[in-house]
Amino acid sequence: METARRRRLETNINNMEAILQDARAAWEKEEEAWETTKAAWQEQREALQAEVGALQAKLEASQAKLAATGDGKMKSLFWDAWKSMLENYLAKKEWKFRELESEWERKLEDWKKKEYDLKDGVNVAKSELVEKAIKTY
């Protein structure tokens, strides 16, 4: 009877350790996917910043030209609106990136808690197994 209980406990321990290993493997895949996403967003962000910088330089050149010719109040308003639109677009992309980053951090915390709970379960089962073994012998 004790042998059957010990086998059940050992089976439970092995099952919990397998679940823990599966959780680790799944998390590693999540982490790789996140790193890929993060790198892609970083590239997009840098490209958008470069685009905004180029357009801002164009805007400044246009404003200087308009100031020199004296006929550009409407064009200046257009360029200001265009610049504002691009800055808003960049801000939205950065917000999306930060949102993904916080989601990943939440997942990381959840995983750490799950891993801790699983490890705790394995340790409890091992302790029970040791106690049973001591009582048996």
Amino acid 133: pLDDT = 67
Question: What is the C-alpha to C-alpha distance for residues 49 and 127, in angstroms, rounded to an integer?
Answer: 57
Compute CA 37 distance to the chain's CA centroid, rounded to the nearest angstrom. 8
Say how many C-beta atoms besides its own lie within 10 A of residue 19's C-beta: 14
The pTM for the full model equals: 0.48
pLDDT in tens, 70-112: 665 666 677 778 778 878 888 887 787 788 778 888 888 887 7
Phi, psi of 30 (to 5 degrees): -60, -45
Residue among 52, 85, 82, 89 at smallest CA distance from 74: 82
Burial tier of 63 (Cβ tally within 10 Å: 0-12, 13-18, 19+)? middle
pLDDT in tens, 34-75: 888 888 888 887 887 787 778 778 777 777 776 676 665 666
Residue 80 near residue 63, CB atoms below 8 Å:
no
Residue among 57, 16, 35 at smallest CA distance from 104: 35
Amino acid 114: pLDDT = 77
Residue-level length of the chain: 137
Residue 116 near residue 60, CB atoms below 8 Å:
no
